[in-house]
Structure 1
Amino acid sequence: MNLSLLEQHSDFEWHIPATGKMRVPGIIYAERGLLEDMDNKVYEQVCHVAALPGIVSASFAMPDAHWGYGFPIGGVAAFDPEAGGVVSAGGVGFDISCGVRTLHTGLVRAQVDAVKARLADTLFARIPAGVGSTGPVHLSATKIDDMLAGGAKWAVDQGYGTQADLERIEERGMAHHAKPAAVSPQAKKRQRDEMGTLGSGNHYLEVQEVDEIYAPSIAEGLGLQRGQIVVSIHCGSRGLGHQIGTEFLREMVVEAKHYGIDLPDRELACAPIQSELGQRYLGAMRAAINCALANRQILTHLAREAFSKVLPQACLTLLYDVSHNTCKVEHHLVDGKTKRLFVHRKGATRAFGPGHPDLPDSIRDLGQPVLIGGSMGTSSYVLVGSNEGADERAFGSACHGAGRNMSRTHAAARWRGRAIVEELASRGILIRSPSDRGVAEEAPGAYKDVQAVVDAAQAAGLARKVVRLVPVVCIKG
């Protein structure tokens, strides 16, 4: 990125002044090295988002930002419905509510190492992964509507988990005001056999060791100690979310001119929040959030079953579940006034600070866990939100992962999946995947340095590092 286009406000905060059609400035949180490696397309997309109707404060980009469809991945923007604010399908993304959940196991590294290959094989046999993978749940037309309305709560009611799980999920496991009727028959058809599946791309189930502690008191409050084993699951709403995004983007492009919206980029297709189309999209999008939450809940159940076969002493309890690729109604302070806003986070994680009323009682004093997945073979991190009140940055948001620095096509041309699997095995990391090409596309070198990303998030005041996790076994789609 051309840094001459930016105003440096600190080592980790860079501003784009509002010019031309921009209604608000752009703000990018990153250190110089990360910023220089970002494509200029990120700059353009931050500016284009800043030109959308009803946007407030600024168009934000996180330290892991890279080019996306319409919004940059790592983009955050909030819109005021009382000021003509819009909802953008491109600002949410195709994999609606893709997210990460992390579970305690009650195990330590030595216990897993003794049966690591057997555990990897059992998880791989039990967890459906890969393009077109289907799961153990087959939903009728009635049941799929129940799932889309109920989310993880529906899954628990079906026997896939416990009530205690729901307390550690955003919105207690269910997005309210979902409208299954706003989801097309084609989207529902794609999902009927895909519940409880990882899918492909950067999705995974990973067995990890707590390797480093940065904030001992917070780690203790979250039940994390060095040497412990946890399990992280990264996936989303699968074919249903992609279908919803595709259909509504197409409709929003056509209807934008009827609403008097001058799109800076057709990929930013949107509709007024208070319009019929906007409300219909929000209902469908919330249904997709519930789909993703239910999907991760069923995968949790499958992981528990797999562990029980190999390590019956394990007890997989939920640390937290966070979503990215969402638009959520939240109240934030803007120019000294509390406003009801529709906050888009595309490839960004909610990171509410200590004391926030939306957090569970048991961890409210610590701040919301922010679960940052690294690239395959590299570290992941648990952070907590550090924003409080008037000091809130980017509407209580943080990064969501390492962020790609190379396309999947280029990665597949540069690396061979089998060679990566063998190299990681030599380092004690077992990979199981149905696709060698999929492994190549997700090579560690295809991503930014996740440590630099989380260090920038902490230095910018977005979130605080708590622990580092290193991979032991990874099931890849």
Structure 2
Amino acid sequence: MDMTDIKPLDPYRWTITSTPKPVILYGNKALIEEMDEKVREQIVNVTKLPGLVGAAMTMPDAHWGYGFPIGGVAAFDPDEGGIISAGGVGFDISCGVRCLRTNVFINDVSGHLLQIVDALFNTVPAGVGSEGEIRLSMTEINKVMTGGAEWALRKGYGVREDLNYVEEKGCMADAEPDNVSDQAKKRQLGEMGTLGSGNHYLEVEVVEKIYDAEAARAFGISEGQIIIAIHCGSRGLGHQIGSDYLVALAKAAGRLGIHLPDRELACAPILSEEGQRYIGAMRAGINCALANRQIITHLTREAMSSIIPDIHIETLYDVSHNTCKQEKHRVDNKERELFVHRKGATRALPPGHMLLPERYKQTGQPVFIGGSMGTGSYLLAGNPVEQNQAFSSASHGAGRKMSRHQALKQWHGRQLIDELERQKIYIRSKTMRGVAEEAPGAYKDVDEVAEATEKGGLARRVAFLRPLACIKG
């Protein structure tokens, strides 16, 4: 990124001086310089949308996306003509991470990793267009979209305690299945309980290092413990909602005289008919994703217990990173009801927040920054609001530093799998192409991103997790 008009607010927050409305870029200088020019263009375009409150922001893992940059955060006030944008939510609505803790340690699994990775691969469907054994009717998919993880629990997937540690208690209110097209629903009939493709994964990890002992105790983790991460979203249904509403919102913007600096930022006022229809559909997509991760949690328990019968698996936390949430935030000493877009950014609620389960009230919300096959991941905790100036948001992953097309030119899937196996990291995937596209070297340095997330005041590091086995789509 050209740094000519980018100036530091401090070593981990930067601003673009040539914009009429504020932009804040989180990250150290090297991370900012590494970002492509499209990130700058996209986040500046976000500042031109009606009703923006405060700055448009990018997290340290930001990279080029559709409409908003991935890693983009922006809040809008409905009473000031604020907008909702499908490009600010993302096509994979409510893509997120379910983090699971277990009662077993590295010595318990080290001799069984090949069996574990094969059991998971054979139990949890993954890959482009992957379908599982669950087949739903159109009536039942409507129930998924209103029930979320609660629907999955009623169907026998998981345990009641899971929902205590899921965003929105596993069910997003005010979802409107009637606002979702039949085409979107049909795409999902066979895809519940599946990982999908791209950067989605199911990974078995070990707690390698503890940074914050107090938070680690609250999270129920210690060094050597086995953790499992499930990264996926709303699959075909969410993607189709995004596609459908890009058209509808673009028409609404034209009808209402909203100038779009980029057609990918198609939007409508939050309080407009079109805006409300998209919000209802998006919330239905969120529930689909929450149900999907709940089912995969159940399948993971089945697979793991087939290898280690005495294993006990609990949900540590589940949070989305492609959403727009209606939230209360204090801006200029006044509490305001805002709609916060987080595109490739996770909510990171502060200590004491009313939406946190009692277990995490003192520490703040668990936050997960995922790496990519072999690079490790981080568990963090949300910071107090006086430290986090990004509407309680944080990084969601390492973030791509090169396109999938570029990655295919540099790596071969089979070679990567063999290299990682020599490091005792076992990979299973439906396609070698998918492995090459998700090569560790195609992503930013996850250690640098996690450090910048902490030093930028967004969230503090609790633990580093080293990968042992990974299922890729």
Do the two structures share a fold, i.e. TM-score over 0.5?
yes
Q: Please give the root-mean-square deviation of Cα atoms over the aligned residues, in Å.
A: 0.9
In structure 1, the residue matched to 2:253 is 256
Provide the aligned length of Structure 1 versus Structure 2.
473
Is the CA contact (8 Å cut-off) linking 1:406 and 1:447 kept in structure 2? yes
Per-residue CA distance 1:113-138 (angstroms, 9 max, x = gap): 11111111111100100011101211
Query: Deviation of residue 391 (structure 1)?
Result: 4.2
Query: Deviation of residue 353 (structure 1)?
Result: 1.1
Which of 214, 218, 238 is matched with 1:217 structurally?
A: 214
Q: Secondary structure at the match of 1:4?
A: coil
In structure 2, the residue matched to 1:457 is 453
Q: Secondary structure at the match of 1:332?
A: strand
In structure 2, the residue matched to 1:474 is 470
Residue 164 of structure 1 aligns to which amino acid in structure 2? E
Q: Secondary structure at the match of 2:444?
A: coil
Distance 1:118-1:40 versus aligned 2 partners, 3 A rule: same
- d(CA) in 2 for partners of 1:66, 1:432: 27
**Residue range with higher mean Cα deviation, 42-51 or 249-258:** 249-258
Which of 19, 25, 28 is matched with 2:25 structurally?
A: 28
In structure 1, the residue matched to 2:334 is 337
In structure 2, the residue matched to 1:407 is 403
Which of 442, 450, 454 is matched with 2:438 structurally?
A: 442
Is the CA contact (8 Å cut-off) linking 1:351 and 1:386 kept in structure 2? yes
In structure 2, the residue matched to 1:309 is 306
- d(CA) in 1 for partners of 2:85, 2:198: 23
Distance 1:187-1:154 versus aligned 2 partners, 3 A rule: same
The percent of aligned pairs where both chains have the same amino acid is: 57
Q: Secondary structure at the match of 1:470?
A: strand
Is the CA contact (8 Å cut-off) linking 2:387 and 2:458 kept in structure 1? no
Residue 14 of structure 2 aligns to which amino acid in structure 1? W
Per-residue CA distance 1:57-111 (angstroms, 9 max, x = gap): 0101000001111101000000000000000000000000000011111111111
Per-residue CA distance 1:245-294 (angstroms, 9 max, x = gap): 01101121222121110011111100010011000000000000000000
In structure 1, the residue matched to 2:204 is 207
In structure 2, the residue matched to 1:58 is 55
Alignment of 1:105 onto 2:106: no
Query: Deviation of residue 354 (structure 1)?
Result: 0.7
Alignment of 1:378 onto 2:409: no
TM, length-normalised to structure 2? 0.99
Which of 190, 194, 204 is matched with 1:193 structurally?
A: 190
Which of 157, 161, 169 is matched with 2:154 structurally?
A: 157
Is the CA contact (8 Å cut-off) linking 1:351 and 1:387 kept in structure 2? no
In structure 1, the residue matched to 2:16 is 16
Is the CA contact (8 Å cut-off) linking 2:388 and 2:459 kept in structure 1? no
Q: Secondary structure at the match of 1:139?
A: coil
Is the CA contact (8 Å cut-off) linking 2:387 and 2:457 kept in structure 1? no
In structure 2, the residue matched to 1:41 is 38
Is the CA contact (8 Å cut-off) linking 2:5 and 2:18 kept in structure 1? no
Distance 1:364-1:18 versus aligned 2 partners, 3 A rule: farther
Is the CA contact (8 Å cut-off) linking 1:103 and 1:316 kept in structure 2? yes
Q: Secondary structure at the match of 1:339?
A: strand
Alignment of 1:429 onto 2:422: no
Query: Deviation of residue 368 (structure 1)?
Result: 0.4
Residue 369 of structure 2 aligns to which amino acid in structure 1? I
Residue 186 of structure 1 aligns to which amino acid in structure 2? Q
In structure 1, the residue matched to 2:389 is 393
TM, length-normalised to structure 1? 0.98
- d(CA) in 2 for partners of 1:217, 1:387: 16
In structure 1, the residue matched to 2:4 is 4
Query: Deviation of residue 25 (structure 1)?
Result: 0.6
Gaps of 5+ in 2: none
Gaps of 5+ in 1: none
Alignment of 1:120 onto 2:127: no
Q: Secondary structure at the match of 2:68?
A: coil
Is the CA contact (8 Å cut-off) linking 2:210 and 2:464 kept in structure 1? yes
Per-residue CA distance 1:134-159 (angstroms, 9 max, x = gap): 01211111111000001001111111
Query: Deviation of residue 18 (structure 1)?
Result: 6.2
Is the CA contact (8 Å cut-off) linking 1:66 and 1:403 kept in structure 2? yes
Q: Secondary structure at the match of 2:148?
A: helix
- d(CA) in 1 for partners of 2:173, 2:144: 12
In structure 2, the residue matched to 1:170 is 167
- d(CA) in 1 for partners of 2:94, 2:435: 23
Alignment of 1:148 onto 2:145: yes
In structure 2, the residue matched to 1:94 is 91
Per-residue CA distance 1:138-190 (angstroms, 9 max, x = gap): 11111110000010011111110111000001111111000011010000000
Per-residue CA distance 1:207-240 (angstroms, 9 max, x = gap): 0000000001110111110000011000000001
Which of 270, 277, 281 is matched with 1:280 structurally?
A: 277
Is the CA contact (8 Å cut-off) linking 1:128 and 1:135 kept in structure 2? yes
